[in-house]
Structure 1
Amino acid sequence: MSRHSAKRARSHVISVRLDDEMLHAVDLLVRAGLFQSRSEAASQLIKAGVQASGEWLRQAQEIADSVQKMKQAFMEAVKQKDVQTVSLLLEQDGRLAADYAEQPGDTPLLLAVYYGAEEVKELLLARGVRLNLFEAAAVGDVKALEKLLADAPRQVNAYSHDGWTPLHLASFFGREDAARLLLGRGADVRAVSRNRMENTPLHAAVANRQVAAARLLLERGADRAAQKDDGLTPLDLARENRHDAVIVLLPGQADGNG
């Protein structure tokens, strides 16, 4: 029997021996992120001497509640840019760095980038958080992007949980090198976000005053006349915000001929 088969068999045996209440307790612990599998959770509870179903459930619920409170406190500290609290909680449980917020896909690192929590972002990166495609685009980690796209090249035009492509994120946050890499790997420069904004990467760059990224996108074929959900074009956004992207967006300016 292979190691994988043996592990699966052990998991099955343990599951069979547990009644519904015990299984609920075990599942609580697995969902809380304390254990990777039912068999692991059940084994640890058995070692701890917890045998009665009601006691299993009570203790599992207490543990799960405690873990959930810690997760919520951690995510709130990220949003508040409270690097001291983030650091303290990571010392208590390093797994928080790779956890998810209430919204599936909102990782601590993405939240830090979205909320402009620069110190928190640097702390998480320093702890060696393994980046997913959208995180790598948002922070501009070209090496991580290269590896991720080498493993799954079709993901270059994937959409995040909140409706952005990697190119949208790289453009919005001004990660020019990351945007250039994504475009070189086939990213759709005219992709429309799958959320209420329905905008393009060029809209994203202009909205966040990323002139260099906007220029790059135009050079690669971005549509300066594309309209977002409210009918605004990138040029409309630039004029509305009164910033330097206006000159870049004027016809003939992207290639320096205007």
Structure 2
Amino acid sequence: MEEILDLIKDGEVEALRQLFEKDPALVDKKTDQGISLLQYAAYCRGISTIQLIREFKKDLNLFEATSLGEIEMTGKLIDEDKSLINSHSGDGFTPLGLASFFGYFGLAKFLLDKGANPNLASNNQFKVAPIHSACAISNYKIVELLIKNGANVNAKQIQGVTPLHSAAHNGETEIVKLLLENGAEVNAKMETGQTAMAMAIDKNFGAITDLLRENGGQ
């Protein structure tokens, strides 16, 4: 399995093709984390390897569909089993969490309209909620969408990181402003004691430092 994962990570399409042609059943293998090769390829952002795996794989599961941003297939699978909307993938992430992580605004909206819980965090050690993922990739539109649908702007993931911490760390002034306008605790502390303002100062983000200070940041 490690060989296959390395080939996917390195984008070795022809070597993968030879393996799948020799043993087509390999395409349905799962990683130690319980995710499919297709979902792993999506994590690796490997367009060519995704296309190759799709040649050999007939059916998608919900987490593969959401990882690829396929709204129609996602809808079909949820309609067949509505309990899937708030389920977790083998590595612990929800469909909405994956849509947020990959930056699929249309899919995220579709899932929310279908009843996805915007505050359901991953059930792994990271405890990542969809809003954490959206802030991590600096996607303003998805952060805004999640907030409008009831996302907790003060949700904490591993090490006590809040969305505001992520936005400040990434230098995303507009997302910081959006979070503050919607009730983000300006002086929330990570387990290390760091506030968002401390992170902004450390990264020399002057505009964010000023914005946080204006809102009571320390």
Aligned-partner residue type, residue 110 of structure 2: L
CA-CA distance at 1:104 after TM superposition: 5.1
CA-CA distance at 1:172 after TM superposition: 0.4
CA-CA distance at 1:226 after TM superposition: 1.4
2:47 pairs with 1:118:
yes
CA-CA distance at 1:158 after TM superposition: 0.6
Cα distance per residue 1:136-178 (max 9 Å; x no partner): 1111111111111111001100111211111111100011222
Tell me which residue corresponds to 2:202.
Answer: none
Aligned-partner residue type, residue 135 of structure 2: V
Map 1:176-215 → 2, pairs under 5 A: 176-215=105-144
Tell me which residue corresponds to 1:237.
Answer: 166
Does the CA-based 8 Å contact 2:28-2:57 persist in structure 1?
no
Q: Which has the higher contact order (CA 8 A, sep 6+)?
A: 2
TM-score, scaled to structure 2: 0.76
Query: Quick one: distance in 2 between partners of 1:170 and 1:240?
Result: 22
Cα distance per residue 1:98-130 (max 9 Å; x no partner): 2222x1522110110112222111222244441
Map 1:78-157 → 2, pairs under 5 A: 78-101=8-31, 103=32, 105-157=34-86
> Size of the alignment, in residue pairs?
182
Cα distance per residue 1:65-91 (max 9 Å; x no partner): xxxxxx443232112221221122222
CA-CA distance at 1:93 after TM superposition: 2.1
Query: Quick one: distance in 1 between partners of 2:139 and 2:16?
Result: 29
Tell me which residue corresponds to 2:89.
Answer: 160
Query: Quick one: distance in 2 between partners of 1:252 and 1:157?
Result: 25
Aligned-partner residue type, residue 159 of structure 1: H
Q: CA RMSD in A?
A: 2.0
Query: Quick one: distance in 1 between partners of 2:15 and 2:133?
Result: 31
Tell me which residue corresponds to 2:209.
Answer: none
Seen in structure 2, the aligned counterparts of structure 1 residues 209 and 119 have a Cα distance that, compared at 3 Å, is farther
SS of equivalent residue, structure 1 residue 203:
helix
Aligned-partner residue type, residue 152 of structure 1: D
Identity %: 32
Does the CA-based 8 Å contact 1:167-1:189 persist in structure 2?
yes
CA-CA distance at 1:252 after TM superposition: 5.2
SS of equivalent residue, structure 1 residue 250:
helix
Does the CA-based 8 Å contact 1:173-1:210 persist in structure 2?
no
Seen in structure 2, the aligned counterparts of structure 1 residues 118 and 211 have a Cα distance that, compared at 3 Å, is farther
Query: Quick one: distance in 2 between partners of 1:114 and 1:236?
Result: 23
Does the CA-based 8 Å contact 1:141-1:178 persist in structure 2?
yes
Cα distance per residue 1:3-55 (max 9 Å; x no partner): xxxxxxxxxxxxxxxxxxxxxxxxxxxxxxxxxxxxxxxxxxxxxxxxxxxxx
TM-score, scaled to structure 1: 0.65
Aligned-partner residue type, residue 193 of structure 1: S
